[in-house]
Structure 1
Amino acid sequence: MEDEDFDPDAGGEAQEADPMDEAKPELSRRDVVVFVIDARKPMLEHQLGGLPFAFVALDCVARCMTERIVSAESDLMAVVLVGTAKTGNAYDFAHQSVLMPLAELRASRIRELRNLVAEAKLFGKGDFGADIGGPMEEGEEGRLSVSMALHHVQLLLSKELKANDATKRCIFFTCADHAADPVRAGEHEASMKSRDMLEQGIALIPFFFQPPGPPLELGAFWRKVVAANRKPAQPDGVALAGAADADFNADTPADELTVCASGEAGAVHALVRRSAARRLVRKRVALALPSGQKIGLALVNLVQKKHKPAARTVDLRTNELIVRSVRRLCEKTTAFLNEFQLGHLFFVGGTIATFEPGEKAKLADFGDAGLRCIGFVPAAELQPYHMVGAAAFATASNEVASGSAGACRALITQMAAKRVAMVASWVSKGGQPRLLALSPQLERRAPRAAGGIVELPFGFHVARLPYSDDLRDVPLAVSRAAPSAEAVDAAREVVRALGVEYEPKPSPVLAHFYTALEAAALNEAPQAVVDATLPDEERALKRAREQVERLRGAAYGDEYDPDAGAKKKRPPKAAVPETDDEWRALASSAGALDALNADALKGYCEQHGLKKSGKKSDLVARVAAHVADG
């Protein structure tokens, strides 16, 4: 699975088209998740917030599905129970039952899961139904292993055609990770199966509940199984000297094997959501330091820009797409010109600069694409107006360079202690170089009593810095006279009087669209649409008339008249001729008859027996013709 090109311009102004933008970003791909829940006796006996561990996990699954069915289009999810008394799966794996098959989300399936959780809350114990039965009996653990459960998940995802081009994950809920657990037998087999899942692009994410008693031993078994499911460091990655890599297996820091010991069941849901979001990586890059060493970073666009669909021209009758092609012709010979016969002229400093074919493309070559550290500046010098567009977030990634996780933590800790931010240059493929500011963020964990989950991870907030042309000093006209206390109080009263309750308004754009659509379907004239989003100035003035008058008097004085102003001078009315000589003199002046009103023209027509009906232009023509005839 190749990472998509990171776009530091996300959320900003339109940039030149990048060929990498045509690729479908990972964040918009179909998400396929298989939830595996340990349904043995410990998961049903121990409780969290009055609910058995297994049903806390099931409630978390139902919540995740509810969110996805609202925000996603075609995600696939399944729920598999391991350690059940009965066997219910298509591959006949012992003591494994499919509670919900792998399929697109449906409200009816989510309702079934919520009903199971509600019954467990009501009766204080869990029951998955007669088809699944209770937990497996003691002594039968030898027929169940983690490798078998992972093999089942692998088959489910490999046989589903819709999961081929998708982000695939397996989330494993359990509360047992001690040396005496018989299900942990076969560490080598489980690691090999985890490696097979990696080759198929399936991420394994375990979650552990803390049972009463000593803390779980999150050590060798699960750490090796999860490490086998992560990509190793690239051979060309340059590791930092002295960076300890014992606690960081590829992209799997120690905090990924998390114990949820919270007294609130909602903490498990927050943990699952946080882990899922951590893997929505947009791009993995190597941050090149001035010393030549590299730190691998995984970049995520926190705010994704929505690309506007391009307009397409279709035939009015057949509705077929019209394909256009542009060819350039020679003005003299009318022959077609190819790209090698075209040149580019630019006016530079009063002269004309000529670029030969291919020279213009070389101007956009700013070297190898990547992220390079330039230096460090005090964090206080970064201002909010320096951030152009939405910021991204970067975390350590050992897939680019081994040892990046430890080196990144050390770098972030030192930068935060010295209160500095990094300035780096970003060169994308075929794009202009950009200056980026990397602001460090220290890790923050919740107390162990609240689950010990990572609330804020180690990483960098990556902000795109503006060019010097983007910054300008705007002179602001500042009033020297400070407003009086009476004017400030009057302004407060105006604001309070204009306060209204929220009232949803229909979209006028949609109203116009559906009105036009209905009119076209019925072959009728479209009805007028009232835009309810426009401000009602008359109503607002009626609500705050007294307060506005008080503010006007406090700010401008009692003698201020808003209606008084420079009155427009009306042009003097043209004098009506009384004699025939005056009419002849007036008709000889261009446009003089047009200045007379209709009553004066009708009076002349009545006096000389002419027709008085018609428009003013007809009267003017009639009077001019009569005066000319003499």
Structure 2
Amino acid sequence: MPPKAKFVNKREAERDDSEDELEELDLNATYQKDMVLFCIDAGPSMHQINPSSGTSNLYVALRAAASLMEKKLISSPHDHVGVMVFNTSDTVFKSAQPGEYYRGSHELLTVRQVNVPDTFNIKSLLKQAEADPDHLRNAFPPAEKQMRIDWALANAGVGIVAAANAGSKRVFYITDNDDPHPFATDPKSTRARKSSLEKMAEFRKLGIRIETFFIGTEESPFQVNKFYADIFEQYDDDDDDDAEGGLQAPKVPKGFHASTEDLKGQEVRRHLWDSAIRFNELESDVSTRETPKRVVFSIRFELGTIGSGITTENGIMRSNVWQIGIKGYSLISKTTKGNPVKVLVDEECGELKEVVTHQHYIDPTTEKTLTKEQIVPAFQFGKTASLRGQVRFQGDELKRIKSLGMLPSLKLLGFKDRSELKFQDNVKHAYFIYPSDIEYRGSKKVFAGLLDSMVRKDKIGLGLFMPRQNVTPVFVAILPQAEEVVKGQQVAAPGMHLITLPFADDVREVPDAVFNNPPAEAELHQVDAAKAVIERFHKSKPFNPDHYPNPALNHHYAVLKATAFQEPLPETMDDHTLPQYDMIRKRTAHLISAFHDEIDKDDRVRHASDTATATSSGTRERTFENDKEILKMYKAGKLSSYTVVDLKGVCDFYRLDKKGKKADLVDRISAHIEKMRK
């Protein structure tokens, strides 16, 4: 029996008044901005220079902040980032009034929307630190006495609460001091620990999440159990303090064993706080959020009619349509480059300002500017351009013609068996719909009941779909999707997919040649030769497009970033979509050659080749089955002896651009072969 769909009441985004605007939505948040505050320790140990890298831990933390800001400028430009350095002798706080914060913190950057000047300032600070290792110590001199951790957390809370609302608020706590308040020497250690626990409880009420980045070395690993274990609820089960020092065994979270022998070498919890792992996860997290999922429409779902209209006591006629609220998501969309902006240099201040364009309609006879009311859309009929041949429509009339008088909604027309939905019925990417109780209370319960029934009976729905105004309604197939949970983790969310169905004129007739010429069957030894090649490249895991970023788009953003920060432009494009020729040659060269030999021996292939040669006229582009001859000519320096037609065949073999003169083709092929040989 399929699992039942469960829809919990989660905070959703407020509806935008404009139906045509794309609205980002995170079902777990009211607002969509991600807010991050770097809370970095600047104690004496953070300023010590690492001999291997020549930099300090404070430099590494600031570099991580600059990297995050750089990536958010492209992936999430509406997010907010701030940087606060604590445990300093100086106090600089910009987002709060005196008396609202504790001394010993330097607010380097208030939490605000990421922008180029702030990022440039952080990068400039890093460049100065690279030239002078003591620059950060002079800019943020460490305090003579350790700042209380609960005070540092309180200042971080003041800095992030003072900013605007956001969907997620996170504090990145970075330090290399694993015991800032030791019991043996600090008389206020107990008070600091207790106050830090209370501060963490306040953060949980405010929805602020603390993410820790604890820096340690191989010689001196970070001992989280000394001070921070109970505060951040992160424990190192590999630390056997009980066996060595006779200390009380640390508290172990539910589900983990305290025996160090069972956990030896596994690092079960270390990934939650170890900076060496967390910085890499942070880099990966930002890169995978380049294309957030968006709500593209918020409409009503009409399920049918309930008798006739109902008149209330006040004489108001209520609708008899049974409807619920839904939101639609575009799970797959093409990411394109942003539109260029025209700018000019302001002569007064010397800054770049965006060019504002205005569109005006001018009467060709009087050369006067026309108002919007004077412009009437019309369709021309006939060959003459006279007024008699023009059929005029008002704006609202055109909308009704285009929308067939339908308002934005999804109307359920009926049901069909799941088997009647064919693969070829899909003409564009589907939308995913999820219920919303904002407009119509109880929508999630009705939606869940309908989903369970469709999944249980193996049915699909048919609907008439109009996502927003000024679009033509289309027929869609409503495909239900049950919730999938693997080991307690949700793999697929419960909901429905809207698959756009083709109209009659969208379906092309199958050519007669397909039916009149039945395909010739391959010999068994030919099938075995092809199967050997395929099996060598078979992967157990499914294809993941996230592993192959768009090279042109990444290069475009790399050029923009380099230009904005006045850095050298990237010389080459990093393209992970190119075939790995060395690996292909190593793993399957002999299998591919064997497959080609089997095909060449077939009489049908030889006959087709002879027929094509006899009927062709002029010079044909040469094709290469392998690159043995090409590499031989390259080593001998005789690539230029090829004709232009042959060189284009070489480019076609390596999937290179075939445009240009002979010299351009030779240089392009030579550069590609050099790249292959490295």
- Higher radius of gyration, 1 or 2: 1
TM exceeding 0.5 = no
Scaled by the length of structure 1, what TM-score is found?
Answer: 0.44
With the length of structure 2 as denominator, give the TM-score of the two structures.
Answer: 0.42
